[in-house]
Amino acid sequence: MRTLLFLLLCLSPSLLLALPTALPAPGGVAILDLGPSQDAPRAEFDGERVAVVRTENGWRAVVGLPLSLEPGDQRIEVTWPDGRRSRHGFTVLHRDYAESRITIREERMVSPGPDDLKRIEADRVRIRAALATWSDKTPDFDFAVPSEGRFSSGFGLRRFINDQPRNPHSGLDIAAPVGTPIHAPAPGRVILTGDFFYAGKAVMLDHGHGLLSFYAHLDSIGVEEGQRLERGARLGTMGMTGRVTGPHLHWGVYLNRTPVDPELFFAR
């Protein structure tokens, strides 16, 4: 019995490599069988490099699908180590996201002034640069939920403020009191820390192969850029910094620079 357990433990990293839940729909994840080869192929979707991982049946591409993607046929382009190229098609399904409509009477809160706009643009540049991070470490897709609390606002909500459409919700909100600890959901490296206009105090982690995670509205940040974190390491505490109406964690998960539904990365 003990020998069997030992064998299972030895084999488990390759046999039980956890992948996200496949959901080939806007805001979801497509998982595509690429077939076997000695060395890893390189895959791109819409010009962006995508995660490729080895499984017992060969290589698989794990592709993040933008919320703005129309249902229908899509494909990824694959380049093999011998220079051969192949295309792998898949079908994007329809997915309904709920609507959220709020009314804000104070105009200043809805339309930021010129100084705010300057800061918002500088923030955007920094965040966009961090989102372009690629590292060759094989990612661990098996996430733990990063904090205790209630899921207060789901990914993909179609938001309207005073009847004007806003960007859809790019993460999952978890609400709990200020000071609730926030933990790394999987091993990763800190690639961004800062205090941003909308996101408030925020941290971004690189888990490898374009799998990134983002933590916003923190009360305190407990890590520094460049630091490597194990799963469960404390990265900060929940707060209400930036544009918020109450304390919560905004948790974003990205693949190939695309926000995808964090709920596809953990078992409920």
Binding region for Zn ion (CB under 5 A): 171, 173, 250
What are the DSSP calls for 214-250, one per residue?
A: EEEEEEEE---TT-EE-TT-EEEEE---SS-SS--EE
Q: Which is nearer to Zn ion, 140 or 173 (CB)?
A: 173
Q: Whole-number minimum distance, CB 212 to Zn ion, in Å?
A: 16
Nearest distance from C-beta of residue 152 to Zn ion, angstroms? 9
Yes or no: say if 168 and 161 are a contact pair by the CB < 8 Å rule: no
- Closest separation in Å from C-beta 47 to Zn ion: 27
CB of 153 to Zn ion, least distance (A): 6
Calpha distance 186→230 (Å, rounded): 7
Q: Is the Cβ of residue 232 or residue 246 nearer to Zn ion in the bound state?
A: 246
User: How many CB atoms are closer than 10 A to CB 38?
Assistant: 7
CB atoms within 10 A of CB 218: 26
Min dist CB 215 to Zn ion, Å, is: 11
In the complex, residue closest to Zn ion by CB: 250
C-beta of 48 vs 148, nearer to Zn ion: 148
Residue type, 132: A
Question: Measured from the CB atom, is 141 or 215 closer to Zn ion?
Answer: 215
| CA gap 152, 249 in Å, rounded | 10
Residue (173 or 206) nearer to Zn ion, CB: 173
Q: How far apart are CA 216 and CA 148, in angstroms?
A: 15
Q: Quick check: 190 and 221 in contact, CB under 8 A?
A: no
